[in-house]
């Protein structure tokens, strides 16, 4: 394909992409494809083409063969997992990134890749109200890096945590480095290391422990505590690990768990963890962390609960549930100064297309001393000067994509106020849905909330007594009303593509739609 052919092909592809997004926004596609497993192979040749094909031959296959097999994450009716908010500025960033293809593992491999990444990560640290410790210019040597996924960020951190723990122990015991005694001690300790997370934390911590070659234990949570970690449960788990001869070296605390967006209350857990100063504290805020762009999340009003008071007063909180889990940051972001690392995914909720996972650390040395390997072919005078960042030492792979571009484009195109507006709109969607569950006649009869709505998520379930009610209502006149609702719904539009004002309208539609989709009595009865 030469430049002229590319120009034509690219224009045609962009038209295709715009058409696709418009169709998805207009609900032209059902969210799930209706194909069967193995649908694609019979439609494609058994072997790769021997001879070149033209774009005119290739492009139509997108519509005829690929789109029918897509799950439409951008659809306003998509309500699984987490939002996927791709936007046009983000797509443009991907285009340039692909055009510049530079696996910029060292600063020298493309200084702009590294320097832009450092700059946008600092912008975002400020925009998310993170402590200045996480900025690249912090005296403690903190900084941020873009990873492909939260799972990748977490396993990377777990390896750094493991190495820091082992070496701190050996240093404390005065074992020379290197020395055979140290190696023997490390081998012994390694077999006892245990990582912790709550039973609600994302499975990436369990997987990270497998990859890091350590044990993993969970802290039990309860509905009484809104599925957040209670300090007593944490203390009990830590004590049990130690009684079992294990060495707790790492903990994931969640700011927004996958199932219900529970928030482990750092202000209550920090006093427990202070007694275990070698444990690395990581905050996994994969989805909810981007809400910190709004001051009302980053600096929620003082609400430090009665449990905190009970603890400082010496009255045991053991019999008290966390009456009102106030979230990770009830005392503002300063509480985050006690954690070692923090991750959040822009590709979940902040208008950047997959993949863009932000990872911040308080000490880059923890990462680089665990992960830096420097064969001759990676050495250069800039690295030796100590004046540049080589992100290869902050991650598992060597090569890396130019992801900072799409983040840069999104932040500039929307402005921080646009990002805040997006978060607030989508939170309102969740609140609207919760209202319909708790306040509407249909909602109250058929559904109940599982946990308090959190961020944009409303978790509700069918009431145990809803089945007989729904069956009765199925034959009633109400069915006619719900059919009307379905028709209204099918005309609605929704997409994160467009201006803030357009999106406002979209969000209102999505809100209505989300609620209606979940609230169809007839549908509920049929599903049962």
Among positions 307, 344, 345, 485, the unique one binding ligand PLP when judged by CB under 6 A: 345
- The residue (of 182 and 202) whose beta carbon lies closer to ligand PLP is 202
Site for ligand PLP contains 221 (CB under 6 A):
no
Among positions 20, 82, 280, 408, the unique one binding ligand PLP when judged by CB under 6 A: 82
Q: Dihedral sign, CA of 245, 251, 252, 253? A: positive
Site for ligand PLP contains 326 (CB under 6 A):
no
Site for ligand PLP contains 422 (CB under 6 A):
no
Site for ligand PLP contains 403 (CB under 6 A):
no
Stretch of 97-105, 234-242, 255-263, 363-371 lying at the interface with ligand PLP (CB under 6 A): 255-263
Cα 105 to Cα 420: distance, rounded to the nearest angstrom:
32
**Residue 378 neighbours by CB distance under 10 Å:** 17
Task: Give min distance, CB of 259 to ligand PLP, in A.
Answer: 9
Degrees, nearest 5: CA angle 396-255-117: 40
3-state helix, strand, coil in the chain (%, to 5): 55, 10, 40
- The residue (of 254 and 395) whose beta carbon lies closer to ligand PLP is 254
Q: For residue 286, what are the β-bridge partners?
A: none
- The residue (of 35 and 210) whose beta carbon lies closer to ligand PLP is 210
Site string for ligand PLP, 352-381 (x = CB under 6 A): -----x------------------------
Token match 């023997």: residue? 184
Site for ligand PLP contains 395 (CB under 6 A):
no
Among positions 21, 87, 237, 258, the unique one binding ligand PLP when judged by CB under 6 A: 258
**Residue 260 neighbours by CB distance under 10 Å:** 21
- The residue (of 328 and 516) whose beta carbon lies closer to ligand PLP is 328
Site for ligand PLP contains 308 (CB under 6 A):
no
Among positions 118, 151, 197, 363, the unique one binding ligand PLP when judged by CB under 6 A: 151
Residues 6 or more apart whose Cβ sits within 8 Å of residue 117? 145, 146, 391, 403, 404
Residues 6 or more apart whose Cβ sits within 8 Å of residue 92? 406, 409
Site for ligand PLP contains 331 (CB under 6 A):
no
Instruction: Label each residue of 327-387 as H, E or C.
Output: CCCCCCHHHHHHCCEEEEEHHHHCCCCCCCEEEEECCHHHHHHHHCCCCHHHCCHHHHHCC
Site for ligand PLP contains 202 (CB under 6 A):
yes
- Name which of 485, 484, 466 is nearest 526 in CA terms: 466
Burial, 446: exposed, middle or buried (Cβ in 10 Å; 0-12, 13-18, 19+)? buried
Site string for ligand PLP, 26-45 (x = CB under 6 A): --------------------
Token match 């739609």: residue? 513
Site for ligand PLP contains 284 (CB under 6 A):
yes
Residues that bind ligand PLP (CB under 6 A): 81-82, 149-151, 202, 204, 254, 256-258, 284, 286-287, 345, 357
């Amino acid at each position: 394909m030469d430049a002229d052919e590319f120009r034509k092909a690219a224009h045609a592809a962009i038209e295709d992409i715009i058409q696709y997004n418009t169709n998805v926004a207009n609900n032209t596609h059902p969210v799930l494809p209706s194909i069967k497993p193995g649908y694609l192979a019979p439609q494609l040749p058994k072997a790769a083409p021997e001879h070149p094909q033209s774009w005119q031959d290739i492009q139509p296959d997108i519509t005829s063969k690929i789109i029918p097999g897509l799950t439409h994450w951008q659809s306003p009716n998509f309500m699984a997992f987490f939002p996927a908010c791709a936007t046009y500025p983000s797509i443009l960033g991907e285009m340039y990134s692909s055009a510049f293809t530079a696996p910029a593992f060292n600063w020298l491999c493309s200084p702009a890749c590294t320097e832009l990444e450092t700059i946008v990560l600092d912008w975002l640290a400020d925009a998310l109200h993170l402590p200045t410790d996480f900025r690249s210019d912090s005296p403690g040597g903190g900084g941020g890096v873009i990873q492909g996924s939260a799972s990748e960020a977490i396993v990377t951190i777990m390896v750094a945590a493991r190495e820091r723990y082992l070496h701190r122990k050996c240093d404390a015991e005065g074992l020379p480095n290197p020395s055979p005694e140290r190696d023997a001690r490390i081998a012994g300790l390694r077999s006892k290391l245990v990582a912790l997370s709550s039973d609600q934390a994302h499975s990436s911590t369990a997987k990270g422990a497998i990859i890091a070659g350590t044990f993993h234990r969970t802290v039990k949570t309860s509905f009484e505590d809104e599925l957040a970690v209670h300090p007593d449960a944490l203390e009990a788990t830590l004590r049990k690990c130690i009684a079992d001869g294990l060495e707790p070296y790492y903990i994931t605390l969640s700011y927004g768990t996958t199932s219900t967006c529970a928030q482990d209350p750092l202000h209550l857990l920090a006093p427990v963890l202070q007694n275990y100063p070698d444990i690395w504290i990581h905050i996994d805020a994969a989805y909810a962390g981007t809400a910190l762009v709004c001051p009302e999340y980053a600096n929620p009003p003082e609400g430090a609960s009665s449990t905190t008071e009970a603890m400082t007063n010496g009255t045991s909180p053991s019999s008290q549930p966390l009456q009102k889990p106030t979230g990770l940051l009830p005392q503002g972001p300063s509480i985050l100064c006690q954690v070692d690392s923090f991750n959040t995914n822009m590709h979940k909720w902040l208008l950047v297309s997959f993949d863009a996972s932000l990872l911040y650390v308080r000490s880059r040395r923890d990462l680089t001393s665990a992960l830096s390997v420097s064969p001759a072919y990676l050495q250069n005078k800039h690295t030796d000067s100590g004046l540049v960042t080589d992100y290869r030492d902050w991650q598992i792979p060597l090569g890396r994509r130019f992801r900072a571009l799409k983040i840069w484009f999104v932040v500039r195109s929307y402005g921080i106020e646009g990002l805040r507006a997006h978060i607030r709109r989508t939170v309102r969607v969740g609140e609207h849905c919760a209202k319909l569950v708790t306040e509407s006649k249909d909602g109250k009869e058929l559904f109940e909330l599982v946990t308090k709505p959190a961020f944009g998520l409303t978790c509700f379930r069918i009431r145990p007594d809803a089945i007989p009610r729904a069956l009765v209502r199925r034959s009633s006149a109400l069915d006619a009303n719900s059919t009307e609702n379905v028709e209204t719904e099918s005309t609605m539009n929704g997409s994160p593509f467009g201006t803030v004002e357009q999106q406002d309208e979209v969000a209102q539609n999505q809100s209505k739609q989300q609620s209606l989709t979940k609230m169809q009595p007839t549908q509920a009865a049929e599903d049962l």
